[in-house]
Amino acid sequence: MCLDSSGQPFCVQCKPEYQGPNCEQCSDGFYNADSICLPCNCSGNGDPRISPRICHPDMGHCLSCINNTTGPHCERCAEGFTGDALARNCTPTGESLHPNATAQFTTFSTTLLSSLGSSTPNTTTTTVTPLPWNQFNIIVLAVIIIVVIALLAVVGGVYTYREYQNRKLNAPFWTIELKEDNISFSSYHDSIPNADVSGLLEDEVSDLGNGQLALSSPGSLYKV
């Protein structure tokens, strides 16, 4: 320790981690932790462009991180990157292609989209609107009602047709049964001695109208 021209003491030489007239300040690359200068810890990811002052002199936080890292000591990968920050291999999330291949694929995709856009300028994109659930239920209900009505109509038609056939088959067939006449005109005449039966008999060849009956002789049949 020496004295300056004003008589103030000053240090001729300080330890590497200290600086200042009386070695009371931390050197670049170090920070003050309870009056003790400790090296900055940036996990090897400190930005050399701001060297030698790479961390805050009082708090020790790294001022800038590289290699896609972040944190007070550049100890973790930045957002959108994954890997091991301490090993300095933070890569973009989901990256599986070589950087050159990725760049070529991106360029090809951009070129393809540009060519498609220029070749089909008037093409419109049609989006399919999903059918609302309530409308779908209404359609299903309407179909069920129509099917039920159709079935009822078929059953009613079959029933009506069968009833008609049954009535047609069971309809009575009317016939007239002609029986032999057992009346004896001789006995009838004998029972009435004073009766004139000449007017009761008619000539067999007399003309008869349709539906009239004629008596001829005993035992004859009615003629229709």
Residue 56 located in a structural domain: yes
Residue 77 located in a structural domain: yes
pLDDT, tens digit, 9 for 90 and up, residues 171-223: 665 555 556 655 555 555 555 555 555 555 444 445 555 555 555 554 444 44
Residue 132 located in a structural domain: no
Q: What is the pLDDT of residue 61?
A: 92
53: which residues sit within 8 A by CB, 6+ positions away?
A: 28, 29, 63
Distance CA 46, CA 33 (A): 19
CATH number (domain holding residue 66): 2.10.25.10
Q: What is the pLDDT of residue 209?
A: 52
Going by the DSSP 8-state scheme, the letter that residue 126 receives in this structure is P
pLDDT, tens digit, 9 for 90 and up, residues 52-83: 788 998 888 999 999 999 999 999 999 999 99
Query: What is the rounded average pLDDT of the residues 81-110?
Result: 68
Pairing verdict, β 69-70 and 76-77 = antiparallel
The separation between CA 164 and the C-alpha centre of its own chain, rounded to angstroms, equals 51
The model scores a pTM over 0.85:
no
Lowest mean pLDDT segment, chosen from 9-13, 119-123, 185-189: 119-123
Residue 114: pLDDT band (50, 70, 90) is: low
Residues in the chain: 224
Residue 53 located in a structural domain: yes
Q: What is the pLDDT of residue 181?
A: 57
Domains in the chain, number? 1
Q: Answer whether 202's CB lies under 8 Å from 215's CB.
A: yes
Residue 215 located in a structural domain: no
Residue 82 located in a structural domain: yes
The separation between CA 15 and the C-alpha centre of its own chain, rounded to angstroms, equals 75
Q: Which of 24-33, 89-98, 150-159 has the highest mean pLDDT?
A: 150-159
Residue 71 located in a structural domain: yes
Distance CA 175, CA 209 (A): 21
Q: Answer whether 43's CB lies under 8 Å from 75's CB.
A: yes
Distance CA 211, CA 107 (A): 114
Residue 197 located in a structural domain: no
Full domain range(s) for residue 90: 1-97
Confidence check: pLDDT of 120 > 60 = no
Distance CA 40, CA 62 (A): 7
Mean pLDDT of the chain: 73
Q: Answer whether 206's CB lies under 8 Å from 216's CB.
A: no
Distance CA 23, CA 17 (A): 9
